[in-house]
Structure 1
């Protein structure tokens, strides 16, 4: 029954997508982030619903009379350059079939999704629709895992799957980072929502995201979420009151944590206690998880040294054909049964081994440039009446980028849709801001597409009736 509801619901959206391709971008975002068909247990799990939405959206985009214009800017160009270089790296990959499979399943569809979004987001209404779709899609997973965390007393961290199966956030560490990216967007909704119930809902989802990270037992997720919450605390008005509430809440949560989770948290700083000596062969207290990550980084570096310009191809570090020759029997973790071909566990090593120093350079420039663009939007938007929302959104996207850059040190999430959607948000906010500044021509949406908000409706009702002109 659940499968039928999901499939019929998606099919019901097709006529609306054919009429307005931007609805296809929203449905595409919903499926890419939430993966509703993965929440069922029948025939819908194996269906390529996202592929159906992709094809219908592309047809609607090509046939739509709406004016199509690239948003411009260096960040949008860098994104296209990064996708082009990863495509070249796939063509030259050591394990070409595996590389192209990942390129088709994740990279190219993600790229088309982001490009269409940047072209079709031509108004604040559309940008806010994307923000809400992103927040509610990830918010569903946050709520689900938060409830399971409460029910299990925080003892679910060793479960195999947290996010939808077969997706980038299935792993608990990746899921925790996705929650850290979600939290500042929810904070933005809390600050800008006009209805009290919406603000309360945003706060509840923030609490759910925090509980989901606790349930994941991801040490990197804990640190990343702490960074995000620390920054968001500086944006609150009643800092002493909120600090007291946070301390009391943190103490209460810590007291309720299971012993194995407390022990795991205690190992966060233990890696730095003895410096390099900790990873000597005779060190019995060596942390296997961290050591295996170091081993994967060594493999990625050695692979890059053999192909420094364009790398070894997408997901080459996880390919037995490409990565096995670089496993060293002399590594401190070589005796571990888990030692072998593994994920990079680092977005920078992942991109480096995938597409070489050139690809990593583009990736880092895109990340740093997006952060600087957020700063630019924050400064410029506050000078223009009515554009304060853009400053708030850019500020929260900036927090998400910091979380991604920090949390990605221990995770393989370089091509995650949620990260690139943050970049799309700031690129579109910058374009709308340049239009308001008169530096770019306005890209108009359909005239009946942007209804007035509640404040505008109240203002119109309270406004005196216009007097007729006298001859």
Structure 2
């Protein structure tokens, strides 16, 4: 991507924020997922475009409320309370960290997730805005998926597919989980479309998302995709049609995969046959043992660099759950699991009320949004068992979206 078009795009997004702050926020999220500056060739390469645009949205939001002489409509939710306690625990474990040279910087980096979450809570104050938020996330990932899926098809699945260079999703394993999370968001978008051409286009993107995830050669990604497929069938009202179509699609896809792909996936049941999988078992055991011996504060952020045995190449914990337990103790893991688990439960309640409780007056869009977010989070939870992605931005964006959805469903009156 040439630098001047990227600069013009950034300026356009910055200007949009001053007209409609919530649209500017959506533009910031696109930049955060796509990392377009890493495709630049000259002066824009590596520029902090995301940070600058996010600060611009914050200023535009403050100006918008000052101009109208109103205060932002803040809301309290039990999930927000758990989030704040979790972050306070992060700060406490950082104070006791065994790697004080790196832990504070990581805490600061992770804490930057709170700003976009807060902006979502303030600016996304209607179901229509929330719908566009989910569509924006889906479309941003789809832009990468299109390239990855096309590459996989023309090369016969012989090469691994990777995400944007320099992003949190750049590795093939991370990209596979990201792609799996995008599938339910794309299908949510599909169900809300009316034009036949648009529906075919979005359906094609969903198929390419499946292709991209499978062709990443990621074992965790495969399990994430399978989890998404099972949940989509479970949520479908036409299971008699969905199950055969899914079986046919999987059969056609697997028929084109090379033998080396199947050999790699078989190590899921026999990890000792693969050096990478075997080393992960060693790392998991080491991290879990440390969490059991230090259940309160763990080891703090970025402690994995101090645990590497001489015979094992250790670059991460290779599991979000081991990562949180080892770095923040069993207390931190309980808070982390409680935050995600309570959010999933809230989404299940919205799905159940919208689908079965006649006394509920939830619009179909609420049920569809709840199902999409729930399935995307489920894909994350499966993939997180194999990757150090505990502090992914997309996870916390979806959590914030779920809390906003719950607020809108319980209090459907438009904001003043």
- Relative to the length of structure 1, the TM-score reads 0.81
- Offset at 1:230? 2.0
Matched, 1:425 2:401: yes
Q: How does 1:301-320 map to 2 (within 5 A)?
A: 301-305=288-292, 307-317=294-304, 319=305
- Offset at 1:287? 2.3
Q: How does 1:42-441 map to 2 (within 5 A)?
A: 42-65=42-65, 66-105=70-109, 107-157=110-160, 162-271=162-271, 286-305=273-292, 307-317=294-304, 319=305, 322-324=306-308, 327=309, 334=311, 339-381=312-354, 383-385=359-361, 387-436=363-412
Question: Could you say if the C-alpha distance between residues 387 and 102 of structure 1 is closer, same or farther in structure 2, counting changes exceeding 3 Å?
Answer: same
Indicate conservation of the 8 Å contact 2:180/2:221, yes or no: yes
Query: Which residues of structure 2 form unaligned runs of 5+?
Result: none
Provide the rounded CA distance (Å) in 2 between the counterparts of 1:193 and 1:72.
33
Q: Structure 1 stretch 235-244 or stretch 223-232: which is displaced more?
A: 235-244
Provide the rounded CA distance (Å) in 2 between the counterparts of 1:19 and 1:144.
32
- Offset at 1:150? 0.9
- CA shift digits 1:230-284 (9 cap, x unpaired): 221233344344433333332222222122112222333334xxxxxx6xxxxxx
- Relative to the length of structure 2, the TM-score reads 0.91
Q: Which residue of 2 is the match for residue 454 of structure 1?
A: none
Indicate conservation of the 8 Å contact 1:83/1:111, yes or no: no
Indicate conservation of the 8 Å contact 2:138/2:185, yes or no: yes
SS in 2 for 1:427: helix
Greater Rg over alpha carbons, structure: 1
Provide the rounded CA distance (Å) in 1 between the counterparts of 2:144 and 2:104.
29
Provide the rounded CA distance (Å) in 2 between the counterparts of 1:289 and 1:53.
39
Indicate conservation of the 8 Å contact 1:28/1:50, yes or no: yes
Q: Structure 1 stretch 287-296 or stretch 380-389: which is displaced more?
A: 380-389
Question: Could you say if the C-alpha distance between residues 114 and 88 of structure 1 is closer, same or farther in structure 2, counting changes exceeding 3 Å?
Answer: same
Provide the rounded CA distance (Å) in 1 between the counterparts of 2:227 and 2:185.
15
Provide the rounded CA distance (Å) in 1 between the counterparts of 2:180 and 2:264.
19
Moved over 6 A (4+): none
Indicate conservation of the 8 Å contact 1:35/1:164, yes or no: yes
SS in 1 for 2:98: coil
- Offset at 1:442? 4.5
- CA shift digits 1:191-220 (9 cap, x unpaired): 222333332222111101111012101112
Q: Structure 1 stretch 302-311 or stretch 183-192: which is displaced more?
A: 302-311
Question: Could you say if the C-alpha distance between residues 377 and 239 of structure 1 is closer, same or farther in structure 2, counting changes exceeding 3 Å?
Answer: closer
- Offset at 1:385? 4.2
- Cα RMSD over matched residues? 2.1
Indicate conservation of the 8 Å contact 1:114/1:420, yes or no: yes
Provide the rounded CA distance (Å) in 2 between the counterparts of 1:434 and 1:244.
37
- Offset at 1:381? 4.1
- Corresponding residue pairs, total: 409
SS in 1 for 2:388: coil
